[in-house]
Amino acid sequence: MSTSKREEVCSHLRYIRRELRDLDQILKEDGLLPEVTELKEVHASLEALYQLLAGKTKKKPKPQFDD
């Protein structure tokens, strides 16, 4: 993926995440709460996509073996 395309995608993802946060605040203020698991799934998917595109993958802990 070209650098400019990657930056464009990252920008869109940031915008989507910001909009989702705003929507969540509005829903909380109105007393309308969606299913928490659904929100967590969407957020996790967006976060994973953003991390992948930004090249900032979270390091997985190395397995520890008892000798």
Between residues 51 and 66, the one the model is more confident about: 51
How does pLDDT run across 20-55, given as a tens digit for each residue? 888 888 888 888 877 778 778 888 888 887 887 777
Sequence-ordered list of residues with C-beta below 8 angstroms from that of 43, at least 6 positions apart, any chain: 17, 20
Per DSSP, helices labelled H in the chain are: 3-30, 36-54
Domain regions of the chain by residue span: 3-54
